[in-house]
Homo-oligomer: A and B are copies of this chain.
Amino acid sequence: MVTKNQIKLIKSLAFKKNRIKNQLFIVEGKKIAEELLDSDYEIVSVFATRDWIARNMFNTVIQVSNTELNRISNQKSPNEVLMLVKIKKHQIIDDDGIKLVLDDINDPGNLGTIIRTCDWFGVKQIICSNNTVDIYNPKVVQSAMGSIFRVNVIYTDLTDYLSNVEKPIYGAYIDGNNVRDINFPKDLHLVIGNEANGISKEITQYISNNIAIENISNSAESLNAAVATSILLHEILH
C-alpha cells in the first residue's frame, strides 16, 4: 500500500532540485535492483510486488499492487520493484589510468550510455562539468543500468579542475588527428564536448592533443557523443 505522501515524494524525484533537497534518487526494475543490492549505495525504501517479495530476502518492503506500481513508476512497463536510494557524493580519486572529462553532455541517454561503456572498459572515473546532465536523472539511471553503481561520477568546475592536472589532456574534435595514428600514454584525460557545440572555448585552452575519428564518407556531420566516446576509449585502451 502506497500513501499519498509517498506518491508525491516519488513523483517529485523526477526533478533535480527535489533529488538534491531529499538526497534521494529512484532505481526501477528487478535487474538493476539486483545490482543495487550488490553495491554500497544505501537503500531507503523498497516498493515491490508480491512476486518480487517472494523471491527476495529484504527487511522492510512496502508491498504494492501492479496498479500501484504503475502509478509510481516512470517507466512504460514497470518491473516488480522501485527503490528510493540515497545519493552518494563521489570524490575525485587520484588514481592511474584514463579519466573521462565531459564538457556539458546534455542528453541523459548519452550520459547513461557513456557510464555503461566506462564500466565495460574499466574506466573508473568521469569528471563532469556542472552543466552536464545529472547522473541521478531517471533516464540516465535507466540507460546506464547497473553501471551507475560502479563508476565514480563527479561534478565540478572543469576550468579549475583541468588547470591543476598533470596528466596529458586529449580532446575529441571533428577535425583532430586520427585516433588510429596516435600512441597513447597509460595515464591521460579524455575530454568530450557537448552534443551540439563540441568542446567549449574555455576548455579548449587546456587541451594538449586534438584527436578525431576518421570521417570516411564525409557526408555525416558528426557522430553521436556516446558513440564517439566509446570508439575513442576502445582505441586508447588497445
Q: Which residues of A contact B (CB under 8 A)?
A: 109, 113, 116-117, 119-122, 143, 145-147, 150, 180, 213-217, 219-224, 226-227, 230-231, 234-235, 237-238
Besides A120-B216, A121-B217, A146-B220, 10 other CB < 8 A contacts? A113-B224, A113-B227, A119-B219, A120-B222, A120-B223, A150-B220, A223-B230, A224-B226, A226-B227, A230-B230
Within the assembled complex, what's the spacing in Å between the Cα atoms of A214 and B237? 10
- Which residues of B sit under 8 angstroms from A146, Cβ to Cβ? 220-221
Question: How far does the alpha carbon of A113 sit from the alpha carbon of B223 in the complex, in Å?
Answer: 8
Q: Which of chain B's residues have a CB closer than 8 A to the CB of A220?
A: 116, 119-120, 145-147, 150
| Copies of the protein in its oligomer | 2
Contact of A231 (CB < 8 Å), options: B119, B219, B230: B230
Task: Write the nearest CB–CB distance from A102 to chain B, whole angstroms.
Answer: 16
A–B Cβ pairs within 8 angstroms, 25 of them:
A113-B224, A116-B220, A117-B223, A117-B224, A117-B227, A119-B220, A120-B213, A120-B216, A120-B222, A122-B216, A122-B217, A145-B220, A145-B221, A146-B220, A146-B221, A150-B219, A150-B220, A180-B238, A214-B238, A216-B237, A227-B230, A230-B231, A231-B231, A231-B234, A234-B234
How far in angstroms is the closest Cβ of chain B from A139?
Answer: 11
Evaluate contact between A121 and B216: CB separation under 8 angstroms.
yes
**Which residues of B are found within 8 Å of A122, using beta-carbon distances?**
216-217
Q: Is the CB of B216 within 8 A of A143?
A: no
- Nearest-neighbour CB distance to chain B for A26, whole angstroms, equals 21
Instruction: Please pick, from B145, B223, B238, the residue contacting A116 in the complex, using a CB distance under 8 A.
Output: B223
A194–B67 Cα distance when bound, in Å, is 29
